[in-house]
Amino acid sequence: MSLLQDMMTWRHDFHAHPELGFNEHRTAARVAALLESFGLEVHRGIGRTGVVGVLQKGNGTGSIGLRADMDALPIHETNGFAHKSQTDGVMHACGHDGHTTMLLGAAKTLADSGDFSGRVVFLFQPNEEHGEGAPEMLADGVFDKFNVDMVFGMHNIPGMEVGTFATRAGPICASEALFEIEITAQGGHAALPHMGVDAIVVGAEIVNALQTIVSRKLDPSLNGVVSITEFETDGKRNVLPGRAVLRGDARALTPEVNSTIEARMRQVVQGICMAHGVSATVRYETIFPAVINDTSAAVDAVQAAEHLGHVNGACAPKLFSEDFAHFAAAKPACFMLMGNGMTGAHAQPLHSADYDFNDKALEVGAAYWVALVEQQLA
User: 19, 24, 69, 71: which one is catalytic?
Assistant: 71
**By the 8 A CB rule, do 99 and 155 touch?**
yes
CA distance 332 to 292: 9
CA distance 103 to 122: 8
**By the 8 A CB rule, do 142 and 362 touch?**
no
User: 128, 176, 198, 262: which one is catalytic?
Assistant: 128
Is 180 noted as a catalytic residue in this protein? Answer: no
CA distance 273 to 206: 9
Is 354 noted as a catalytic residue in this protein? Answer: no
CA distance 280 to 310: 51
Q: Which residues contact 171 (CB under 8 A, 6 or more apart)?
A: 253, 254, 290, 291, 292, 293, 317
Antiparallel, parallel or unpaired: β 51-57 and 170-173 = unpaired
Partnered with residue 120 across adjacent β-strands are: 55, 64
Closest CA to 57 of 107, 101, 103: 107
Positions annotated as catalytic residues are 71, 128
